[in-house]
Amino acid sequence: MSEEHPRKDRPADVPHRPGEVHTPDSVQYDRDLNIRGVVWSALALAVGTIAILFVVWWLFLGLGRLEKASDPPAPALREVRERRLPPEPRLQADADGDMLKLRATEDQRIARPGWIDRQQGTARIPVDLAIDVLLRRGLPAPPALPVNPGKPATNPGGGAQ
C-alpha cells in the first residue's frame, strides 16, 4: 500500500484561484486580526465600566442623603424615645429554654404526689403507683345499659350481654 505524503515545499491540496497567492493559515489569521480595533474596544469597555461605577457611587451617595432627609426627627419626650415591650402575647425570647422548663415541670408533676383539690380529696400520684393500684383493684365495671325488648343488648366493649 502506498500512502501519499504531502510534500513539505507546497501546502496541502487547497483549490486556488488564478493569481491568488496562498499563505499559511497563521499568517493569514494575523493579517485578518485588527489590532487597533481590539485595543479601542478594550479601552471603550474600561472607560464605560469606570463611568458606570461613578454613576452608581453618585446614586448611592444621593439616595443616602435623601434617606436621611426623609427620616423623622427623634421625639423630644424621653418616655416616647424609650423602648417599651409590646403588649401580651409576645413572641418567645428563648423557646428552647421555655420548653426545657415546661418539660421539667411536667416531669415533676408526673413523678411526685400532690394535691389537685384538697377539699374534694383529689390527689395526684406518680404514674408507676397509679398503674400498681389499677392492677391490684382492677378497672371499675361499666354501667349496665337499659334492656330494650326490640333490640339485643350490647355492652360498650362491643360484645353481646
Question: pLDDT exceeding 90 applies to what percent of the chain?
Answer: 29
List of long-range contacts for 91-99, beta carbons under 8 Å, 24+ apart: none
> Residue 96: what pLDDT?
93
Average pLDDT by stretches of 10, the chain with 161 residues: 49 60 64 84 98 97 91 73 78 89 91 89 88 89 78 56 46
The pLDDT tens digits of the residues spanning 36-73 come to 999 999 999 999 999 999 999 999 999 999 998 888 87
Supply the DSSP string of 70-135, one letter for each residue. HSPPPPS-HHHHS--PPPSS---S-HHHHHHHHHHHHHHHHHS-EEEETTTTEEE--HHHHHHHHH
